[in-house]
């Protein structure tokens, strides 16, 4: 078959944006992390480990673990089990567990959940190579820098509810996982660029995950697939494969293949100065991101007015137009905003158990509240995680609460103690109190760990 690409197509010079991005990855270990960035990265590692161990007991995690059990033995731990498998298999299983309970972090500007793909990938490779905790933290932070920038370079992320598209959640995780793995393998800039090119070839994910009723395929798209694909891309190059020198510029290229809104400068914008992990949200509530602010508004009304389910006549939830479909009357409790508001009202509090209780969705009182709840789109607001809740009481009062920035977001961040308390709540049912305390303590001093394999007894 004739070659339809010009013979010199692969000899095009490397674009300045790709050169800067690859240089950022290749120089990460020598450069290190500023103290405040390292501190934020430790919190995201802890938060993702907690999400993964908790999620290993939920359906997506169980399905990912079942897959991992059929793979070859290796050094990488499948969290919450007695398994050690090859890095890509561990990354896939742990990535699915990390997104299983909707408690993993989120990055608003790239419309992605970077942690559930990047942290499992970095941990699997770090275990395989016997890397230090400091090296792991650097790799994770660089992964957030790269994955989110690739998505932002595609232009404004598409609105989920308005047509079929590539999945920003999948792409950010894949390029971030690959970059983290490249750091751990100690690659030079040329090999980093080859790794990014192999990642582009394996990058997948489309928004059909919105139609997944059981969250299993969604967990694969957000966490499992990105983590495994990123690990595999780096392994290919580490084993000797070379590739395209610049997959982001020249013709053909990855960005133009997916978008007509390409902003190539975003690949390198702020590198070394703006660390995207610092601009990533850590969730306070283990629910789908678009429902976070509505849950917070409910709790605020309960606290401020002593509001109860018995005195609630009707509820109106107002969300940004691009978020409504994601959480509108979904089959799963942790992404059904009407159920989450009703359950929080009935309990007078938010709990992980309520948010994951399928049976309670049909509790008579909760069902009655859901039937009296209206979800409305705010057509003038998009791209932000805010909510307004209006409750009409049986005595005719109208109680209104607007939450512009939910607790845990970059605009209203949780303290270290709050993040650790959240992690403990997720970890203790799986690890017990003593091992949970040990894991939280170890991650808080991860910079001082000489070999991340020291964590293995606490992750099983």
Using one digit for the tens of pLDDT, what is the confidence trace for 236-256? Answer: 999 999 999 999 999 999 999
How much is the average pLDDT of 47-61? 97
Burial class (CB in 10 A: 0-12, 13-18, 19+), 14: middle
Report helix, strand or coil for 155. coil
pLDDT for position 385 = 81
Could you give the CA distance from residue 168 to residue 125 in angstroms, rounded to a whole number? 24
Strand order in the sheet with 398-403: 373-378, 312-320, 387-393, 398-403
Question: Can you give the length of the chain in residues?
Answer: 460
Alpha-carbon distances of 84 from 48, 58, 68, 91, 330, rounded to whole Å: 19, 20, 9, 11, 35
Mean pLDDT of the chain: 94
CA angle at residue 173 from 167 to 179, to 5 degrees?
135
* Lowest mean pLDDT across 156-170, 205-219, 342-356: 156-170
Which helix (H) or strand (E) covers residue 364, if one does? helix 364-371
Report helix, strand or coil for 381. coil
Predicted TM-score (pTM) above 0.85: yes
pLDDT for position 161 = 58
pLDDT for position 321 = 86
Would you say residue 159 has pLDDT above 70?
Answer: no
Using one digit for the tens of pLDDT, what is the confidence trace for 78-102? Answer: 999 999 999 999 999 999 999 998 8
pLDDT for position 392 = 97
Buried b (16+ CB within 10 A) or exposed e, 400-428: ebebebbbbbeeebbeeeebbebbbbbbb
CA angle at residue 238 from 232 to 241, to 5 degrees?
85
Task: For residue 11, name the pLDDT band (cuts at 50, 70, 90).
Answer: low
Task: For residue 158, name the pLDDT band (cuts at 50, 70, 90).
Answer: low
How much is the average pLDDT of 177-181? 99
Could you give the CA distance from residue 356 to residue 352 in angstroms, rounded to a whole number? 6
């Amino acid at each position: 078959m004739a070659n339809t690409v010009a013979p010199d197509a692969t000899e095009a010079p490397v674009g300045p944006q790709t050169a800067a991005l690859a240089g950022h990855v290749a120089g990460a270990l020598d450069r290190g992390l500023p103290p405040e960035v390292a501190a934020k990265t430790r919190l995201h590692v802890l938060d993702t480990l907690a999400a993964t161990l908790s999620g290993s007991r939920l359906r997506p995690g169980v399905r990912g673990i079942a897959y991992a059990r059929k793979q070859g033995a290796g050094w990488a731990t499948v969290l919450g089990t007695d398994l050690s498998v090859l890095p890509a298999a561990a990354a896939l299983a742990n990535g699915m567990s990390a997104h299983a309970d909707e408690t993993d972090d989120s990055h608003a500007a790239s419309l992605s959940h970077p942690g559930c793909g990047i942290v499992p990938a970095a941990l699997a490779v770090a275990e395989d190579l016997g890397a230090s905790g400091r090296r792991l933290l650097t790799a994770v932070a660089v992964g957030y820098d790269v994955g989110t920038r690739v998505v932002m370079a595609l232009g404004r992320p598409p609105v989920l509810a308005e047509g079929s598209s590539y999945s920003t959640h999948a792409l950010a995780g894949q390029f971030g996982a690959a970059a983290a793995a490249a750091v751990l393998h100690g690659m030079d800039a040329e090999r980093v660029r080859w790794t990014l090119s192999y990642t582009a070839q394996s990058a997948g994910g489309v928004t059909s995950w919105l139609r997944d009723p059981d969250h299993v395929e969604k967990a694969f798209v957000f966490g499992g697939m990105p983590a495994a694909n990123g690990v595999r891309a780096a392994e290919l190059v580490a084993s000797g494969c070379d590739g395209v020198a610049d997959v982001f510029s020249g013709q053909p290229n990855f960005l133009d293949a997916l978008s007509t809104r390409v902003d190539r400068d975003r690949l390198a914008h702020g590198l070394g100065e703006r660390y995207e992990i610092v601009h990533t949200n850590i969730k306070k509530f283990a629910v789908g991101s678009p429902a976070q602010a509505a849950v917070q508004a409910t709790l605020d009304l309960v606290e401020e007015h002593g509001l109860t389910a018995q005195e609630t006549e009707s509820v109106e939830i107002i969300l940004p137009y691009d978020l409504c479909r994601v959480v509108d009357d979904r089959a799963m409790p942790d992404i059904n905003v009407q159920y989450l508001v009703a359950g929080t009202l009935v309990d007078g509090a938010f709990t992980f158990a309520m948010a994951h209780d399928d049976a309670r969705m049909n509790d008579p009182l909760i069902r009655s509240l859901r039937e009296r709840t209206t979800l409305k789109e705010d057509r003038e607001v998009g791209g932000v995680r805010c909510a307004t809740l209006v409750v009409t009481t049986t005595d005719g009062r109208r109680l209104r609460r607007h939450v512009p920035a939910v607790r845990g977001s970059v605009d209203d961040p949780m303290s270290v103690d709050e993040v650790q308390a959240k992690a403990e709540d997720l970890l203790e049912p799986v690890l017990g109190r003593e091992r949970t305390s040990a894991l939280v303590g170890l991650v808080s001093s991860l910079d001082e760990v000489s070999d991340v394999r020291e964590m293995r007894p606490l992750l099983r």
